[in-house]
Amino acid sequence: MPEAKAFETTNRPTWCPGCGNYAMFTAIKKAYERLDLDFERLAVVWGIGCHGNGADFTKCQGFHALHGRALPTATGLALSNPELTVVVEMGDGDGYGIGLGHFAHACRRNIDLTVVAHDNQIYGLTTGQASPTTEHLMKTVSTPAGVLEEPVNTLGLAIAEGATYVARGFAGDIEHLTGLISDGIRHRGFAVIDVYQPCVTWNKLNTNQWFRDRVYKLDDAGHDTSDKVNAFELTLTSYHEMACTPEECRLPIGVLYREEGRPTYGDGLPQLTGPLWKAALAPRDISPTLAGL
């Protein structure tokens, strides 16, 4: 059984001191260890952003995709080799910005892969511009008068479009987050775990302590993960106005919605019973084709 350290390369992480990516990296490695995955069976695709530096630090079958294009790349991997465990790490900037269309379609197709979204509510890599999940009215370097748009309700979109495992975690609770990621990878179908991941350099509002004062665990609240309507309603409380107090905005973490047994996109493609590279090596009889010419 590989230990968490087995998924580390010789390169050391270079995120800002205190960045939530460190805790997420720990949780993700612990999830791989818990699932007894290994280098050959694990494929991870990263988008562009601070999280994408994980491509340098993670030992796996990895692919660093273009900005916002991690999901199409991962879809190709998952369909062409169903023997792989496919994980996507994307940020709120690339995954929910230019990649939002890919996200919606991956949800409705129920592709058998797992998304771990690093949601720090800001463009961290490019020095603090507003992202699709930045709070309404928050001032950033690109919105000095405050953000005019409401943030994208990412998990509401996931539930509405057909994702079959929808969860939210918090980087400040590594053990809880490890459990969510492990369960998401075990789930057969499209799993998304959106993670509140504080950016200590550019987002001075949504800090670790800010989240600690507001998050609560759905398991403790007796939430029914099969209730789709209630799950969607919970997503409406996940974003908030800047001035809200801990009493005014309580943020749920845990599994919001889970649906077992729904066919995946790959189930509709019986010809994809194994890796395509193996099928390509099999002898082909083209006589029937030639006879029809």
The per-residue pLDDT for 240 is 64
The per-residue pLDDT for 50 is 95
Give residue 97's domain range.
4-291
The per-residue pLDDT for 75 is 97
- 70-123 pLDDT, tens digit each: 999 999 999 999 999 999 999 999 999 999 999 999 999 999 999 999 999 999
Residue segments in the chain with a per-residue pLDDT below the cut of 50:
none
Q: Judge whether 228 and 155 are in contact, CB under 8 Å.
A: no
The per-residue pLDDT for 239 is 64
Rounded to two decimals, the pTM is 0.93
The per-residue pLDDT for 282 is 61
Take residue 141 and report the two structure tokens written for it. 């370097």
Write the CATH number for 185: 3.40.50.970
Number of domains observed in the structure of the chain: 1
